[in-house]
Amino acid sequence: MTLNKSVQHWPGNKKKQNSASARQTSVTEISSIPLNVIGRTHHSNTATVQLVRSVGIVKLEEFTTLFYHRCFEDPHVDKFIRSHDDPHGKRFASWIVEKFGDGTPWTNERRNRAPTYLHVGHQMAEVAYDRSSAHFAAWHSPKRESHKWGQHFQPEDARVWMRLHFWAAREVGMFDLHPEFMNYYVKFIGHFIRVYSSRSPPFTRDSVRWSSDAAKVQQYLISGNCMSDVIGKPVDVALDELPSQERSSNWPYGDL
């Protein structure tokens, strides 16, 4: 499989991966709006509302829908996704809009969402009615290996997730067209990825770099959509491979 073949099959993509890779957009080259976290909780403000409105829900859905398409194609991440039929991309885009303070589309949709149930042991549990229950459903996905069933997310899971996430953003032009939003959004993901795994935030910027490297993306595709450089690697070993300032800084809350 070639990189171009994989990229071209997504409607409207217009080879964004190639142009983005050529520019190598850096999230530190543009003006930086501080991450608005108070008491370990992210809060929206006037700046975040302006940022998300500058992108718009249509573009966000293009990004998040492609992201889930990439997840479905990744054998590691797809094991966490119980069903492809749910409107994952639409829900994720609505969640971003709400977290950035432009209304409550995610909350409004949840109020009218049909219940979803999952067998957990000998009981039926309602899942996917909020973020926590969606994570519970992922941990107990029937696609997972029996010895991992119920296990919480690990750093390697978060790393693959972030790489696919930023790759999808780059493919639809988010880094090129909306650099200020992405500068903030990368920090935003660096904050929220702690929910998946508390040791994952240092890998956020590394995942951005991966998404801009056409050779690494090509190798991923050639390997059958397997991130062999991540899966199974002890987190302490992986941390040692990061730039020293990314292992020890207070990013995304202060230090570069």
Per-residue pLDDT of the chain (256 residues; tens, 9 = 90+): 334 434 433 444 444 444 433 344 444 444 589 999 998 899 999 999 999 999 999 999 999 999 999 999 999 999 888 788 889 999 999 999 999 999 999 898 877 765 554 445 555 554 454 556 665 565 555 555 665 655 567 899 999 999 999 999 999 999 999 999 999 999 999 999 988 888 999 999 999 999 999 999 999 999 999 999 999 999 999 999 999 999 888 999 986 6
Could you identify the residue written with the tokens 């530190």?
Answer: 28
Residue 15 inside a domain? The answer is yes
Q: Is residue 127 part of a domain?
A: no
- Domain count of the fold of the chain: 1
Q: Determine how β-strand 41-42 pairs with β-strand 37-38.
A: antiparallel
Residue 256 covered by a domain: no
Domain range for 175:
3-113+153-248
Q: Tell me, yes or no, whether 119 lies in a domain.
A: no
Residue 195 near residue 230, CB atoms below 8 Å: no
Per-residue exposure over 97-132, b if at least 16 CB sit within 10 Å of its own CB, e if not: bbbbbbeebbeeebeeeeebebeeeeeeeebbeeee
For tokens 């996704």, the residue is 81
Task: Write down the residue that tokens 């390997």 correspond to.
Answer: 223
Maximal CA-CA distance, the chain: 53
